[in-house]
Structure 1
Amino acid sequence: MKPSLEAVVKDYQNRLYAAAFSVCKSPQDAEDVVQDTLLQYWTQKKEFETEQHVRAWLLRVAINKAKNKTRTFFRRKALPLEDYMETLVFVSEESSGLFEAVMALPEKYRIVIHLFYYEDYTVGEIADILHITPGNVKTRLSRGRASLRGILKEAWEDDES
């Protein structure tokens, strides 16, 4: 099975962008990653077993391309996160603060947090996508949560002062 490119764009474009942005921290780079991922899907002769297989493959490709983009020597200057935050619309102030806290995490924690909480993947599925052990995923989730707790606790205590 291989869904049409139009169906894949409709169903996964926003998820791919969110995953790429969580790695790149740049809207332009994330858009490039999404386009590159969709182009690779379109040219790929691979047949997929299920809809979940398509989704996992697309996210794995997008995350790998985003990581490659952040490693390039001639990487464009990205907008500072604060400038980009002004262009986003959040449901509440807490959502905005949580997004900033997640984006402040190191990449390896940010990716697993994104896949677990925003994409609803299980630990095993994340391990398959990132090609790491489930134990490593659990460790990264635990450390990411601990970092988030610390960041959010500091922000909360600053607000009370």
Structure 2
Amino acid sequence: MNDDIFCEKLELYKDTVFRIAYSYLKNISDAEDVCQDVFLKFYTYEKSFADNGEEKAWLIRITINKCKDMLKSSWKNTRTDLDECRLTYSMNEAQQELLETVMSIPEKYRIIIHLYYYEQYPIKDIAQITGRKISTVQTQLQRARKLIEKKLKEEEEYEQKFIHSDI
């Protein structure tokens, strides 16, 4: 792959790869490391893809695998993270609250939510990318929605209680 084509592909996919890595790892630095590894592998990959959809799916699969590898590594499990800034650069308060809620649900649901809502993949494609059955993806998407809704309602009830106790 020549450098110009790689730069185009990098611009096209960098946000997707980063967001998926961040949703898995919950750490900006680790997500950036995974992005670097993914794009290095992409740059050195010898085979061509049939279309952009296949290429993007391959990148997502590699990203997920690299994240899983990082989560299993002994280095990741023995270090201590510094407090990190949230990704608030272009989010209003409601978007930030939703992001925090999504990031608080289990990983198996987070990736489904991310691929479905942020990357706009259909359930069939999510099943293929994640290696799960379509029915499993549907169930996990439904459970994730319920978890998010429950957490947001609990937060809203807490805020209402807090606001009314101050009056």
TM-score, structure 1 normalization:
0.92
Runs of at least 5 residues in structure 1 that lack an aligned partner in the other structure:
none
What code does the residue aligned with 2:15 have?
A: N
Task: Give the Å deviation of 1:60.
Answer: 1.0
Q: Does 1:49 align with 2:50?
A: yes
Q: Quote the residue 1:160 is aligned against.
A: 160
Count residues with an aligned counterpart. Answer: 158
CA RMSD, Structure 1 to Structure 2 (Å) = 1.8
Q: Quote the residue 1:125 is aligned against.
A: 125
User: Identity over the aligned pairs, expressed in percent?
Assistant: 35
Describe how 1:23-102 pairs up with structure 2 within 5 A.
Answer: 23-75=24-76, 76-80=79-83, 83-85=84-86, 88-102=88-102
Q: Distance in 2 between matches of 1:108 and 1:94?
A: 23
Task: Give the Å deviation of 1:4.
Answer: 2.0
Q: Quote the residue 2:110 is aligned against.
A: 110
* 1:70-125 deviation line (CA, Å, top 9, x unaligned): 11111143344xx422x622432110100000000100000000000000000010
TM-score, structure 2 normalization:
0.89
Instruction: Report the secondary structure of 2:124's partner residue.
Output: helix
Describe how 1:7-18 pairs up with structure 2 within 5 A.
Answer: 7-18=8-19
Runs of at least 5 residues in structure 2 that lack an aligned partner in the other structure:
162-167
Q: Is the contact between residue 90 and residue 96 of structure 1 (CA under 8 Å) also seen in structure 2?
A: no
Distance verdict in 2 for CA 1:27–1:117, change over 3 Å: same
Higher normalized contact order (CA 8 Å, seq sep 6+, divided by chain length): 1
